[in-house]
């Protein structure tokens, strides 16, 4: 009879049901029961991720006008913060990209997972581009238009011209055929990849700003209006990277 440790090691090597696992179902040892239940849960999770991945690929494939057509996804990060740029990214992925199984909306993934996927996207993407839209542009144009123009710049920065563009909840001034997709980072693999690149790039930038402007906690909240951030503005004042047209900064500056 195999030890529980040996059984766990054997289960860890398998991703599909094997005949010898049937015998484990008759094993009365509590450790074996728990190990088998854990393995089944892991397989269910893996199958769910596989199904979600295939659904995203099928979504993108529906917009391929011909075999080999390039589908670009574009998304943004940072429309809501009081400080820092809005960052957009555009990505063209291979038609099949199993390396990205589990890729989802950046907000649904942990920091560690986002960093892992960022590296995988950079490794496997056919083309990608990240654009930073400054605070000055946001204040001049308004956040919606600044984001829209940044997405356009991301698409135009790709080394490969796409045949079709999928934009997360945005219609762009481009001549390339496009589709605005509500909650696109949950439906499209290309948009989800763009979401990850935009989010990680912006987070890295705000970490640098945390060192440049200490005391505001930019590395922690990425410029969003948290209690800590608002208190820091009251005590330390407004920095050059704060958005002057966003409240409460706008009102604070008017009182000066």
Query: Number of C-alpha atoms within 13 angstroms, CB side, residue 194?
Result: 36
* Greatest extent of the chain over all pairs of C-alpha atoms, in Å: 80
Give the H/E segment covering residue 112.
helix 111-124
Name the 3-class secondary structure at 90: strand
Buried b (16+ CB within 10 A) or exposed e, 128-161: bbbbbbebebbbebebeebbbbbbbbbbeebeee
The larger pLDDT score, comparing residue 78 to residue 16, is at 78
The pLDDT tens digits of the residues spanning 111-169 come to 999 999 999 999 999 999 999 999 999 999 999 999 999 999 999 999 999 999 999 99
The pLDDT tens digits of the residues spanning 162-215 come to 999 999 999 999 999 999 999 999 999 999 999 999 999 999 999 999 999 999
Q: How far are the Cα atoms of 28, 32, 46, 90 from residue 25, in angstroms, in the given order? A: 8, 8, 21, 49
pLDDT of residue 171: 97
The pLDDT tens digits of the residues spanning 11-63 come to 888 878 888 888 888 888 888 888 888 888 888 888 999 999 999 999 999 99
Tokens describing residue 213? 């402007």
Name the 3-class secondary structure at 64: coil
Q: Are 171 and 180 in contact (CB under 8 A)?
A: yes
Number of DSSP helices (H) and strands (E) in the chain, helices first: 10, 5
The pLDDT tens digits of the residues spanning 217-236 come to 999 999 999 999 999 999 99
Q: Is 86 exposed, middle or buried (0-12, 13-18, 19+ CB in 10 A)?
A: buried
pLDDT at residue 256 is higher than 70:
no
């Amino acid at each position: 009879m195999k030890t529980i440790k040996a059984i766990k090691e054997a289960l860890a090597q398998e991703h599909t049901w094997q005949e010898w696992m049937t015998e484990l179902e008759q094993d009365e040892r509590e450790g074996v029961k728990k190990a088998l239940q854990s393995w089944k849960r892991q397989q269910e999770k893996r199958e769910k991720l596989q199904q979600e991945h295939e659904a995203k690929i099928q979504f993108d494939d529906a917009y391929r006008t011909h075999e080999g057509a390039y589908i670009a996804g574009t998304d943004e990060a940072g429309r809501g913060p009081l400080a820092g740029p809005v960052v957009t990214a555009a990505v063209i992925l291979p038609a099949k990209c199993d390396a990205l199984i589990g890729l989802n909306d950046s907000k649904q993934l942990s920091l560690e997972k986002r960093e892992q996927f960022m590296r995988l996207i950079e490794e496997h993407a056919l083309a990608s581009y990240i654009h930073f839209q400054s605070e000055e542009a946001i204040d001049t144009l308004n956040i919606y238009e600044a984001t829209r123009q940044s997405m356009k710049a991301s698409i135009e920065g790709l080394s490969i011209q796409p045949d079709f563009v999928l934009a997360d909840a945005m219609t762009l001034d481009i001549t390339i055929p496009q589709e605005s997709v509500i909650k696109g980072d949950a439906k499209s693999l290309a948009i989800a990849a763009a979401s990850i690149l935009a989010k990680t790039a912006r987070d890295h930038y705000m970490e640098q700003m945390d060192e440049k402007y200490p005391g505001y906690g930019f590395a922690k909240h990425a410029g969003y209006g948290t209690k800590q951030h608002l208190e820091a503005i009251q005590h330390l004042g407004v920095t050059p990277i704060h958005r002057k047209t966003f409240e409460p900064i706008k009102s604070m500056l008017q009182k000066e």
